[in-house]
Amino acid sequence: MKAAVLRELNTSLRIEDVQVDNPGPREVLIRTGATGVCHSDLHFIEGKYNTPMPVILGHEACGTVEAVGEQVSYLKPGDRVITCLSVFCGHCDRCLSGRPVLCSSTEVLRSQAEPPRLSQGDTPIQQFAHISSFAEQMLVHEHATVKVGDDIPFEQLALIGCGVTTGLGAVLNTARIEPGSTVAVVGCGGVGLNCIQGAVIAGARRIIAIDTVETKLNLAREFGATDVVDASGGDVVKKVKDLTAGGVEYSFEAIGLKETTEQAFYLLAAGGTATIIGMIPLGTKIELDGPSLLRERRIQGSIMGSNRFRIDMPRYIEFYRQGRLKLDELVSERLKLEQVNDAFEYMKQGHVARSVITFD
């Protein structure tokens, strides 16, 4: 199959021929239908997070099951699925306590004694985030998939695999905001826009979008923001506190920077909660003024929207069918696999919500 392979940091991905193994027990082989290009992938290209190489990146995807291995009961060939990097074992303490997103069981991986899922001759190719979707096929554990219907195009389904689930989930699952709440979202890329959508669905009365790019602020309005703040002019905390008479009840950081993480905390009113979604680079330290905590302000992390994806993703699909969730509008660029490096350039320029790679 054709795949986009990363061999060195800060270099372009190369389109190469890669062998994919047959599905083993509990595994499924999927023909990739579409994959979104997420900022998380760029973090690994730039070395802000570490991954072994050579590796096939990509993790926000959907497709059609081509073959299943032994012991697979959930899927059959021909099923359409969304993949999710939050692969779960189903019986560890985290899974059984209702937090499968935190499952860390290694039984969903192949052992060192088994052949690799991806290879070139005798050389293993690393699988990224249990998925590796920048490829024509994906070989994954069945617990990295959710079965969906065939009435929604692949390019919309793919976005549910990460950006939508991360943004909506941070609001609905991690923070669990209350109807009538005041909300600020720092960063209006793909995840931030979905935080805004989550706040709309949850019934927030005031949603303040913060970014430095005018096009993203315009998108934020389209996705439901009641107010926008241009961060390029500075004084963001003051502007938000002026708008809200003292700060918001909930804030969400969707960029992954020290400055904006601290900013999200200081946007809060007394008793407020800041939820940090962005992937802050390794080694970065966050500094907060101690007395600010005395008014019961809280800061917390969120991974993949604290999802239970086999429950959450079908709900998000139904929101889309009902016209309550915007997916079409998230797709800024439609590309082919050979254009994957263009997608990262568009991302760096800061003018896209999501680029989606489609496979014919």
- Tell me whether residue 43 is one of the annotated catalytic residues: yes
Which entry of 39, 43, 130, 141 is annotated as an active-site residue? 43
Q: Which residues pair with 210 in a beta bridge?
A: 186, 229
Looking at residue 224, its pLDDT comes to: 98
Looking at residue 234, its pLDDT comes to: 87
Cα separation of 304 and 309, whole Å?
A: 9
Please spell the DSSP secondary structure of 135-199, one letter per residue. Answer: BSEEEEEGGGEEEE-SSS-HHHHHHIIIIIHHHHHIIIIII-PPTT-EEEEE--SHHHHHHHHHH
- Tell me whether residue 162 is one of the annotated catalytic residues: yes
Which entry of 38, 62, 95, 195 is annotated as an active-site residue? 38
The answer to whether residue 321 scores a pLDDT higher than 90 is yes
The answer to whether residue 196 scores a pLDDT higher than 90 is yes
What pLDDT digit, counting tens, does each position of 2-15 carry?
999 999 999 999 99
The answer to whether residue 292 scores a pLDDT higher than 90 is no
Looking at residue 291, its pLDDT comes to: 86
Residue 233's pLDDT band, with cuts at 50, 70 and 90, is: confident
- Tell me whether residue 39 is one of the annotated catalytic residues: no
- Tell me whether residue 95 is one of the annotated catalytic residues: no
Cα separation of 126 and 194, whole Å?
A: 30
Q: In this prediction, what percent of the chain has a pLDDT beyond 70?
A: 100
The answer to whether residue 350 scores a pLDDT higher than 90 is no
Which entry of 59, 130, 141, 143 is annotated as an active-site residue? 59
What pLDDT digit, counting tens, does each position of 38-83 carry?
999 999 999 999 999 999 999 999 999 999 999 999 999 999 999 9
Looking at residue 180, its pLDDT comes to: 98
What pLDDT digit, counting tens, does each position of 184-193 carry?
999 999 999 9
Please spell the DSSP secondary structure of 95-109, one letter per residue. Answer: HHTT-GGG---GGGS
- Tell me whether residue 195 is one of the annotated catalytic residues: no
Which entry of 62, 84, 103, 162 is annotated as an active-site residue? 162
Please report the domains of the chain, with CATH numbers, ordered by start residue: 2-150+327-358 (3.90.180.10), 167-303 (3.40.50.720)
What pLDDT digit, counting tens, does each position of 263-288 carry?
999 999 999 999 999 999 999 999 99
